[in-house]
Amino acid sequence: MRKFLLSIAVALVASVQGLAIPALPTPFAVTQPDGSQLTVRLHGDEYYNYYTTLDGYTVVKNDAGYYVYAQKNGGVLAPTAVVARPQAERSAADLALLSTLGKNLIDDTRSSASRKARAQRDRAMKASAFDYSKFRGLVVLVQFNDCKFSRSDAADFYEKMINQENYTGYTNEDGSRSTYGAFTGSVRDYFRDNSMGKFNPRFDVVGPVTVNLSVDSPRGSEKMSPLLAQSLKQLKGKVNFADYDTDNDGYVDMVYFIFAGVGSNTGEAPNHVWPHASYYSYPIGGKTIGRYACSCEFYSARQGILDGIGTICHEFSHVLGLEDLYDTDYSANGGESVTQGTWEIMSGGGYNNYARTPAGYSAYDRYSLGFCTPKVVNAPGTYTLPAFNSGNEALILKTPTANEFFIMENRQLEGWDAYCPGHGMLINHVDSTNVSVWTSNQVNCNPEHNYYKFMPAGGASQSSASDPFPGTGAVTMITNATEPNLLSWAQEHCPYIITNIAEKDGNITLKIANDTVIGDVEDFEDMAATTATSLADVQGKYATWSFTKCNVTAPGSGKASGEHSVAMKLPSAITSGDTYYDAYQVSFKVFNPLSMTVKYTLSTSTDGGATWTNAASATGETTQAVSGNGTHVLYWVVNTKQDTPTRYRVILSTGSKTSAVYLDDFTLYYRSATGDINGDGVVNVTDVTALINVILGSASYDASLCDINGDGTINVTDVTALLNLILAAE
């Protein structure tokens, strides 16, 4: 498997196509011509980028210089006549317009052109493997005729930031303390630590050289050739480029440029260089320049914050063979994906702590580069994961599909992970069956099928403390029936499930068990959508349901898992009829489109609804919250018996009296009894017949249920074991 991933990494080096760091995610204020302020966020990369309001509406500048809401005309973004305002200041007319516009609109023409530009660079790149032991890097400092480096000691400054071992940061030039001067380490420290000592690079820093061009000349990355040519020309006769061709193939392994000023990735200067990695063919000193990468001096020129090492580490990681893991086409291919965000340096993690503490390599990053060998789970048992940053241990759980697996790691707030959003076990779903999406830098472009899928425990968030297991959401299990789940993309069941996930003293323990967990789901799809808010005894999947001041509705995308969900306003509740399960857990999914936090309670009754008992989360909370504009699966611990009729009641305890939130996928979790092959809830001779039919090939049931004696095969010995179970019970 690792050999397969390494082949992807090598292929990626052969197809670096404008690989870039994503836009700085920090929102910032812009001033409108009338003096009012609007806070916006920049999205995208060097090829295509755009601005949105904090709640996701695309804005563009009109001829008068105002940021206005954007609309789509024939696939092209065009300004509306409505000036964009902060959410709290919008008028009724503003809201009426926004109700007709989608969020995160992009210009289809420009997006298509950006994809073509990437493809052109893809074809230009040359293939080469990377020899960590021989690497020697070249870093060139470049300033412009109208923008010089802010520090007179730029050469010494970058020499230390890049090469000094156990680097702790810098002071101001006069020796005084710098507000943003503290670092976790240098570029060299980052790669040494994250390779577990296998890669300890040395970079030669030269310059600054001054080019006779304006800092605005690159236009992001559209006009890089003149800038690169002038920069390299000044090195002729001063640098022995043969020193940087370690495999003696005639090509310099890599040149890294740091440009004076601030990058366009910050949103502060749209025509400045956007940090990226790419290819530029330039003969010099008997060698040819091939791969290069670049970044800029400032993290934020407005705030006077110099850039740290995050961008350098992100861009140089492309040279090693890692791909971008953020959504590189953003909304162009089915909307914007939920990705690893600030947990992952190849997504947004390069910006952590103002780029002074970029997120450490993930288990996938280290695995694909040969810096880590995860343990493949091949048997039930209890497993322990130490902090990945220092322990370098991870687990792989295979799916039934070749080259598709789940990778698990324990991220703790230490070392390079000190500024990650939280702590606990992260799970990512790796699908390497389609090599082209990896080598063309489109790993997470399609939210309907991400090939490195982030699986946040707390739901569809990212860069949140609720992302890990158990995390702040106290999620202690993941199965084939939970959300997220362990199903393959072909919807095949994983042979194992993960339960009892716990964290103590920075270590994660988890139990791997055979999959005997079943989840029965009420998805409300069989019920008619209605405006009636007090219907009783409506037949569902496994029980009847009664609705108090709420109703089944068809609310549209983003408010239901399928077509239908339950619209709930204060005060409202849904109540099930009698159910008959040995259930140990209940969950339901909440879609909250409101700006406020809503809260829910769940209670159970075993006396026909005469008395009710509150259920609690795994951490003992009897009320659970879903934040504004969020989607979250709430889990509750229960202990019901199949021979005792049990009713469930969900109450919206905090919310809005006028605007609805939506509940879906009410799920009861239970474990099937050993030997219950056909899933009818009892173990008897009909299960023997079902098992014999499986052996004969005339029926198909879950393999983990059929392997009665647990020897890994299904044959006549399992029939004997099943008969013994039935006889013992009698």
Domain parsing of the chain, residue ranges: 31-109, 127-320, 341-507, 520-671, 685-729
Average pLDDT of the segment spanning 663-677 = 86
List of residues 6+ apart from 600 with CB closer than 8 A: 588, 590, 623, 624, 625, 626, 634, 650, 651, 652, 653
CB 58 within 8 A of CB 69: yes
pLDDT at 201 over 80: yes
More confident residue, 276 or 75: 276
193: its two tokens? 């630590």
For 626-646, the pLDDT digits (tens) are 988 888 889 898 999 888 999
Torsion of CA 277, 279, 280, 285, to 10 degrees: 90
571 preceded by a cis bond (ω within 30 of 0): yes
More confident residue, 165 or 65: 165
Q: How confident is the model at residue 437 (pLDDT cuts 50, 70, 90)?
A: confident
pLDDT of residue 1: 54
Its sign, for the CA torsion 232, 234, 237, 240, is negative
pLDDT of residue 116: 47
Q: Give me the phi and psi of 190, to 5 degrees please.
A: -60, -50
380: its two tokens? 């039930």
| β pairing state of 287-300 and 255-262 | parallel
Residue ranges of the alpha helices (H) in 74-107?
Answer: 92-98
105 to each of 65, 687, 709, how far by Cα in Å? 20, 55, 56
pLDDT of residue 552: 98
pLDDT of residue 31: 84
Its sign, for the CA torsion 462, 220, 324, 328, is positive
71: its two tokens? 């609309």
Burial category of 95 from C-beta neighbours within 10 Å (exposed 0-12, middle 13-18, buried 19 and up): exposed
pLDDT of residue 491: 81
More confident residue, 116 or 316: 316
Look up residue 116 and give its amino acid: K
Q: How confident is the model at residue 307 (pLDDT cuts 50, 70, 90)?
A: very high
pLDDT at 123 over 50: no
Residue-wise DSSP of 173-240: TTSPEEEEEE-S--HHHHHHHHTTTS----EEEEEEEE-SS-TTTTTBTTTHHHHHHHHHHTTTTTS-
* Arithmetic mean of pLDDT over the chain: 86
CB 475 within 8 A of CB 508: no
Burial category of 727 from C-beta neighbours within 10 Å (exposed 0-12, middle 13-18, buried 19 and up): exposed
What is the C-alpha separation between 69 and 91, in angstroms, rounded? 14
Residue ranges of the alpha helices (H) in 51-201?
Answer: 92-98, 108-124, 154-163, 187-194
pLDDT of residue 335: 53
More confident residue, 629 or 359: 359
CB 562 within 8 A of CB 525: yes
More confident residue, 332 or 584: 584
pLDDT of residue 630: 86
**Topology classification of domain 127-320:** Collagenase (Catalytic Domain) (3.40.390)
Average pLDDT of the segment spanning 11-15 = 38
What is the domain class of 520-671 according to CATH? Answer: mainly beta
More confident residue, 538 or 631: 538
More confident residue, 49 or 342: 342
What is the model's pTM? 0.71
343: its two tokens? 């947990």
pLDDT of residue 371: 95
357: its two tokens? 């503490």
Q: How confident is the model at residue 130 (pLDDT cuts 50, 70, 90)?
A: low
Say which range, 314-328, 384-398, 557-571, 628-642, has the weakest mean pLDDT. Answer: 314-328
pLDDT of residue 110: 56
Q: How confident is the model at residue 726 (pLDDT cuts 50, 70, 90)?
A: confident
Cα separation of the two ends of the chain: 48
pLDDT of residue 260: 96
| β pairing state of 507-514 and 496-504 | antiparallel
For 608-625, the pLDDT digits (tens) are 999 999 999 877 889 999
pLDDT of residue 7: 45
pLDDT of residue 446: 67
